[in-house]
Chain A
Amino acid sequence: MKIKIAYIVIFLLMLFILVPLASLFFANDLLSNQSFDTNNLFAFWEDDYFRQVIFFSLWQASLSTFLSIGIAVVVARAFAHYGHFPLRSLILGLFGLPLVVPAVVAVLGIVSVYGSQGWIPLGSKLYGINGILLAHLFFNIPLAVRLLLPVWNNIPQQYWRIGAQFGMTNWQQWRHIEWPALRETLPGVSVLIFMLCMTSFAVVLTLGGGPKSTTLEVAIYQSLRFDFNPAQAVLLAIIQLILSILITIIAAWFSRLPDVEANLHIHSQVVAQGNKLLSLLFILIAIIFVVSPLVAMLIDAAKGPVYQVLNDSKLWQAAAFSLLIGLSAASISIILGWILLSASAEKAYLGNKRMAQVFELSGSVVYVVPPLVVGTGLFILLSKWVNIFEWAILIVILINGIMGLPFVIRTLGAAMRQNTARYQRLCESLDISGWQRFKQIDFPLLRKPLGLSFALVTAMAMGDLGVIALFGTPETATLPLLLYQRLSAYQMPQAAVIAVFLLASCLLTFWLLERGISGKSSRKVGGEKNAGY
């Protein structure tokens, strides 16, 4: 039964992804477009605009990845070497914030620090590649630090001790102990960050500052909402899809992408040779870089028209829409993820590893398809029959729900597999199944990763400015869209207040959900920690 439902889920998932994609390829408008010649599929390459957009997408993503990884390695190493840094857990917790901070909020923070009125005014230089890089670094340095730090934790203690006994210098320690461990993880983390930068929408939309700094995602949006040129949007979406698939293939070739982690328990007892002061300096610079946009934005908001914005009914309507989208999308992700992972864990338990992988991969495969590409497909497909703007909220919920699935799979997958491997036989022997099994066994043991993934998907969907920008109208504006509208109208004081409101909403929702679902008892059950993340 469990397996049959999982097959139905896979079928529905494929339907939801493939039908919009197919509609891109078979769009009637496409065939009549000058850029698209069925006899010469690469005709678009002769168009300067397309070339420019593709080049800039790849360039900004490469540069962002290179800088993020380079800086993150230095910072993660500093954290690993300086094991007893004061408030270490708090700071690493803070580094988890960008996972939950909506991109458009971060943009406002960046403008607060580096904008013409900011602490380090870059003026008009902020808009374009500089602003995009700063925002991408804000998001990706903390993410990369959190993903890379476990590499140091996983280095066997013996290696550090042997290194110390042999009198290895700082450089020799890096060369013989750290780099060999790190080089296995770096490609996976790099590809993940490259992918995030390639599909970064809100940052480029708000900080791009013109046609010269436009990426594929933003170009798709502009083609649909401003140029009214669906054919061009379709072509761009196809190119984006092909690039995304290529990147994923490269990622799979290098290594598996790392798991999403929200908590990092560091057990750093390394006997590392290193300069504590230098480590401290790197850590402090990283903290200032990550915290300053948030602090600057808070200050701006405090000076802004708080009462006026909070009294605006549009804000509360947008908040209600955001919460509705967040909770509904997370519910969809969790239900689908649970079904797929249950089937996968059962297959793995029965020894059919291949099918177990198929179930798990089918949930992660949507990762390959950028949300905006699916959105474009749905836009083209549905616009023939219905007024798509009336369906905005439902479409946004569905796309965000499905796009949240890979996060659920990564957060919950390992714990669920382990749970089944440990307790399946016991449950069978005690005849515990169905609802009773979920209530008495699975939920108490898995509530921690379950709570985390639910909270994560909710916060991400609440802060999403990708799909809603495509389908949203002033009547159906969510908080990120409302914020974007204020930013576009250069109403910066109002924007700052809305940004803080949005950030607070996301953080509060994340905290309440994670705490509410994870509960305190998850640690007590059987005295065992839930592994897997």
Chain B
Amino acid sequence: MAKVAEKLAEKKMLVINELKYVYRNDNSYLPKKQKTLSDMKMCFNLQVKEGEILSIIGASGSGKTTLLNLIAGFLKPISGEILVNKQDISQLAIAKRPVTTVFQEHNLFPHLDVFTNIAIGIKPSLKLDKNEVKKISQALNDVGLSELEKRLPAQLSGGQRQRVALARTLVRKQKILLLDEPLAALGPAMREEIIELIKSLLKKNKMAALFVSHQPDDALIASERVAFIHDGKVLEIGEGQKILNNPKHSLIQEYLGG
């Protein structure tokens, strides 16, 4: 644990400080007497270093995706800091943030072929120069899809689609990669393959990633460190093996089915 903290101190790429948000529960569909669901007050603190993947686990509704949405700018926090290389990005517009997101599905526009789906990540006008075209070919090569650039998303497997989304993150060259359950729709073998690909791409491109997953096994394969989120707060953060194989907190035990 001490070793990990030492390493972190070396080069923190992403630092989340007291990032607060209130998740409003929609009670409108409930009868008046049953409107008991209260709003959830969230507050996040965590750090990720360059080249690292931090896995985020927790039960449904605990706030995992909300955290990613706050970092990406899809949601506005009440207060707090999101530091990327010591620069606060919390007030920046979505497009100005050094962030790329890969979702569980719908990462690719269905009417655009593989090449154009990547190109749109560089320039939405699709007016590319030679250098950019070359970059896309290189990215496709890196994810092992250079033969499939003319295919439409519907002609790809689930794993191939996620590879295209990863290739796009490469050409966008942003510092922070947010992975919102990108493996949920894939089989076990494919999951492991994509995790390995993410790890190698991250190291090569000097990025930091937050990896939200429902599967503790995936979290262990993907990262050394794991953060367990409960009720909008980081309940425990540290070495994945320790947290998941030897859970101390009853809520984590409960989550793991112990």
Contacts and interface: CB of A to CB of B under 8 A. Distances in A.
Contacts of B94: 161, 164-165, 167, 271
Interface of A: 156, 158-159, 161-169, 172, 176-177, 180, 271
B111 A180 contact: yes
Interface stretch (B8-16, B99-107, B194-202, B248-256): B99-107
Given A158-B107, A176-B112, A165 B101 contact: yes
A180 B109 contact: yes
Secondary structure of the A contact surface, majority rule: helix
A167 B103 CA distance: 18
A166 B74 contact: no
Contact of B95 (A156, A159, A167, A177): A167
B125 interface: yes
A305 to B, nearest CB: 46
B236 to A, nearest CB: 29
Contacts of A162: 101, 107
12 contacts: A156-B105, A158-B105, A161-B72, A161-B103, A163-B124, A164-B74, A164-B94, A165-B97, A165-B100, A172-B124, A176-B124, A271-B94
B109 A156 contact: no
A177 B73 CA distance: 19
A275 to B, nearest CB: 16
Contacts of B101: 161-162, 165
B109 A166 contact: no
Given A165-B99, A176-B112, A176-B124, A159 B72 contact: no
Contacts of B97: 165
Contacts of B238: none
A419 to B, nearest CB: 20
B159 interface: no
Contacts of A159: 106, 109
Interface string B58-95: 00000000000000111000000000000000000011
Given A162-B101, A165-B99, A167-B95, A271 B124 contact: no
A166 B173 CA distance: 12
Contact of B121 (A156, A158, A164, A166): A166
Contact of B124 (A156, A158, A161, A166): A166
Contacts of A176: 109, 112, 120, 124
Contacts of A166: 95, 120-121, 124, 172
Contacts of A169: 124
Nearest to B99: A165
Contacts of A165: 72, 94-95, 97, 99-101
A167 B100 CA distance: 12
Given A159-B106, A159-B109, A180-B110, 15 more contacts: A156-B105, A156-B106, A161-B94, A163-B124, A164-B74, A165-B72, A165-B101, A166-B120, A167-B96, A167-B124, A172-B125, A176-B112, A176-B124, A177-B109, A271-B94
Contacts of B95: 164-167
Interface in B109-123: 109-112, 120-121
Contacts of B100: 165
In the A-B complex, list the 8 residue pairs whose CB atoms are closest, starting with the nearest.
A167-B95, A156-B106, A158-B106, A164-B94, A172-B124, A180-B111, A168-B124, A158-B103
A176 B119 CA distance: 12
Nearest to A156: B106
Contacts of B121: 166
A126 B103 CA distance: 55
Nearest to A175: B124
Nearest to B109: A176
A167 B125 CA distance: 10
A169 B126 CA distance: 12
Nearest to B174: A165
A318 B205 CA distance: 79
A147 B94 CA distance: 31
Contacts of B111: 180
Contacts of B124: 163, 166-169, 172, 176
A177 B74 CA distance: 17
Nearest to A177: B109
A177 B110 CA distance: 10
A170 to B, nearest CB: 11
Nearest to A269: B74
A104 to B, nearest CB: 39
